[in-house]
Amino acid sequence: MYTQSLNTAVQRDGAEEDPQKLAAFQAKIDREEKIEPNDWMPAAYRKTLIRQISQHAHSEIVGMLPEGNWITRAPSLKRKAALLAKVQDEGGHGLYLYSAAETLGISREEMVEQLHTGKAKYSSIFNYPTLNWADVGAVGWLVDGAAIMNQIPLCRCSYGPYARAMIRICKEESFHQRQGYELLLTMMKGSEDQRQMVQDAVNRLWWPALMMFGPSDKDSVNTADSMRWKIKRFTNDELRQKFVDATVPQAEVLGITLPDPDLRFDEESGHYVYGEPNWEEFYNSIKGNGICNKQRLKDRVKAHTDGAWVREAALAYARKERERREAGKQAAE
């Protein structure tokens, strides 16, 4: 239940927190108890969550664009229905997450504005183009696969509404990854051209998928607080390693190679060793200079602006109906 009535004003940045409250809060988290919307929380916890959840929501919404691009050109009715359902799910995930963020005292309109003005970020992966049909499969397999790896530990996040949203999302993501992998398997059984399309898509999307886990631990500024508050359970590099370990054998079944000359299995650690992602490319994309950043934002802003009259009309209609009901009630009295 997410009414705002009990939410107290967010504290100013840098304001001193009451040490007693702070200790009680940390003890609660250490006991694995969830924090709920109207519970006391440090301003920095609130701020971190608003940033993380809203950016997660933005990623889901912007993530509809690269795949939506292929709906009209899906090669069969089955693939079209699956892709439509997947893109609709992404929209739904965005909405679950916006709702979770709103429980922390930020409005939907504020969040949308932050996205549209470039103040809020979204996952760098969606700034890459989807150039051929195999990209739809590779996005499902690699991008949703990486997202699942990131999201499963978030189901145990200390903030209740975020954890509950993530449980719903994770249940639905599994279909996304499987349909993508199956799509690629089908193409691999096709012509030589189709196999090359798959290899090409994976070559382009492998590194961006690895970057989805965020910067290397040594350069990550947000990890320590998030770990202490149990917003995060694993570091970026730990999750990236899990993803690589899970994905390399799947690539072998598929019959493609991964574009990393340093990739090898390390008997001693039992893990795959992989090369260094191009972090300059990552930061560039985050800063707004990726391949599709401008296109993505332009499309989002256009969709929002084009829909403004619908929102206005719906609100005007609701107001008119309310007034009509009230007038009817008064006349009856």
Partner 1 sequence: MSEQHTPLWEVFIRSRNGMSHRHAGSIHAADAEMALQAARDVYTRRGEGLSIWVVPSAAIIASDPSEKDMMFEPTGDKIYRHPTFYEIPEEVGNM
DSSP string, 273-332: E-----HHHHHHIIIIISSSHHHHHHHHHHHHHHTHHHHHHHHHHHHHHHHHHHHHHHHH
Rounded least distance, CB 317 to partner 1, Å: 7
Give the closest residue to 70 by CA, choosing from 83, 61, 88, 60. Answer: 83
Among residues 3 and 72, whose Cβ is nearest to partner 1? 3
Among 302, 317, 326, 328, binds partner 1 (CB under 8 A): 317
Cα pseudo-dihedral 192, 140, 118, 297, rounded to 10: 60
Q: How far apart are CA 82 and CA 31, in angstroms?
A: 42
**Which of these ranges, 4-12, 24-32, 123-131, 200-208, lies near partner 1 under the rule CB under 8 A?**
4-12
The residues facing 272 across adjacent strands are 265
Rounded least distance, CB 95 to partner 1, Å: 5
Mask for 283-312, x = binds partner 1 (CB under 8 A): -------------------------x--xx
Among residues 3 and 76, whose Cβ is nearest to partner 1? 3
The residues facing 35 across adjacent strands are 159
Among residues 112 and 211, whose Cβ is nearest to partner 1? 112
Mask for 90-119, x = binds partner 1 (CB under 8 A): --x--xx--x--x----xxxx--x------
Among residues 6 and 77, whose Cβ is nearest to partner 1? 6
3 state DSSP class of 49 = helix
**Which of these ranges, 62-70, 249-257, 295-303, 314-322, lies near partner 1 under the rule CB under 8 A?**
314-322
Among residues 131 and 314, whose Cβ is nearest to partner 1? 314
Residues 115-174 that bind partner 1 (CB under 8 A): 164-165, 168, 172
Rounded least distance, CB 98 to partner 1, Å: 9
Cα pseudo-dihedral 284, 206, 172, 197, rounded to 10: 120
Cα within 13 Å of Cα(194), Cβ side: 12
3 state DSSP class of 272 = strand
CB proximity list for 158: less than 8 A, separation 6 or greater: 29, 34, 35, 229, 230, 231
Q: How far apart are CA 305 and CA 299, in angstroms?
A: 10
Give the closest residue to 78 by CA, choosing from 188, 169, 183. Answer: 183
Q: Where are the alpha helices (DSSP H) in the chain?
A: 19-30, 43-62, 64-68, 77-102, 108-116, 133-138, 144-151, 160-188, 192-211, 223-228, 236-254, 279-284, 293-306, 308-332
Residues 22-81 that bind partner 1 (CB under 8 A): 36, 38-40
Among residues 224 and 318, whose Cβ is nearest to partner 1? 318
Among residues 101 and 297, whose Cβ is nearest to partner 1? 101
Q: Is residue 89 near partner 1 by the rule CB under 8 A?
A: yes
Among 88, 257, 278, 289, binds partner 1 (CB under 8 A): 88
Rounded least distance, CB 103 to partner 1, Å: 8
Residues 202-261 that bind partner 1 (CB under 8 A): none
Rounded least distance, CB 16 to partner 1, Å: 19
Q: What's 128's DSSP letter? A: S
Residues that bind partner 1 (CB under 8 A): 1-6, 36, 38-40, 85, 88-89, 92, 95-96, 99, 102, 107-110, 113, 164-165, 168, 172, 308, 311-312, 314-315, 317-318, 321
